[in-house]
Structure 1
Amino acid sequence: MSTLSFRRMQESDLDAVLAVEFAAFSHPWTRGIFLDCIRSGHECWLAYSGQQQVGHGVLSAAAGESHLLNITIKPESQGNGHGLALLDHLMQQAKARDAEVTFLEVRESNQSAARLYERYGFNEIGRRKNYYPAVGGREDALVMACSLLD
């Protein structure tokens, strides 16, 4: 796993976060969504390789469950373990908030992300039809879950 450092996302980080988000996704999150997550007390984290921000992630946790809402590694930094390291950090935050299971949705077309989640221990438990906006229409989401109990 790659060596990254992490720090909590702040509102002042959002220009840099949005630059990564817009570089990575055809349908990126907005500033307002990130603001809502920060202000709601979600686990919002930045990932750094040295002094360079390489990604970010957002996780909500309540009532013994957590939901991975966003995990993004900038395109030029993908493929070298940063995604797995950030995922592990977010899962540690879920455990610290007493979550017993983490859920997520991933675009059906995003097979590299689905493989990353499977490597970590997530399993597909369902589908959400037409969940994501896509170029030329809508796209299904794979719903995945991972137990956090040892």
Structure 2
Amino acid sequence: MISFKPVEPAEIDVLVALEQQATEYPWSRALFESCLQPDYSNYVLRQGQQVLGYYFAQQVLDEVTLFTITVAADQQGKGYGRSLLQHMIQQAKSAGCRQVWLEVRASNQPAINLYHSAGFQPAGVRKGYYQNAAGSEDAVVMQLLLTKSTTE
């Protein structure tokens, strides 16, 4: 059975390990720990005891910023990223938020496609925002306006 649970501080080591395997430029343990604050919405997607993925987002007033969605390397391509995104959108709606913001690497076309399919629209570009092998790359800033008709 698949379930969503709020991230517990004791899980950070598991998330750091999953992050290092699943992404080319992983978050540090300190960054994960800095997001364990009351205004964050951080969830783990599990199947039994196995962590399939997670997201970290922060609410400020009526906006949410999605900082990361990560799916375990051996679980990618199975729709878990979409499930995590839908859960985050529903949490934002339940909290009375009106919009969601995120930044995504310009080279991460699968993520951009996922966000587009959920209704996110490009809102701008942050030049040289992310580090990469060539030095840096742009971030595409995307926005989702939350209305009663927002598809999930």
TM-score w.r.t. the length of structure 1 is 0.94
Partner residue, 2:61: 63
Aligned residues, how many?
A: 148
Q: Displacement of 1:135 after TM fit? A: 1.1
User: In structure 1, what is the Cα distance between the partners aligned to 2:39 and 2:141?
Assistant: 24
> Does the aligned pair in 2 maintain the 1:6–1:46 contact within 8 Å?
yes
Describe the SS at the equivalent of 2:136: strand
Greater mean alpha carbon deviation, residues 34-43 or residues 81-90: 34-43
> Does the aligned pair in 2 maintain the 1:59–1:94 contact within 8 Å?
no
Describe the SS at the equivalent of 2:36: helix
User: In structure 2, what is the Cα distance between the partners aligned to 1:40 and 1:80?
Assistant: 31
Q: 1:105-124 deviations in whole A, cap 9, x for unaligned?
A: 00011000100111111111
Partner residue, 2:13: 15
Partner residue, 2:114: 116
Query: Percent identity among equivalent residues?
Result: 36
User: In structure 1, what is the Cα distance between the partners aligned to 2:21 and 2:42?
Assistant: 19
- For the aligned residue pairs, the C-alpha RMSD in angstroms reads 1.2
- Structure 2 gap ranges (5+): none
Partner residue, 1:33: 31
User: In structure 2, what is the Cα distance between the partners aligned to 1:83 and 1:128?
Assistant: 24
Q: What are the within-5 Å matches in structure 2 for residues 1-150 of structure 1?
A: 4-150=2-148
User: In structure 2, what is the Cα distance between the partners aligned to 1:4 and 1:104?
Assistant: 25
TM-score w.r.t. the length of structure 2 is 0.92
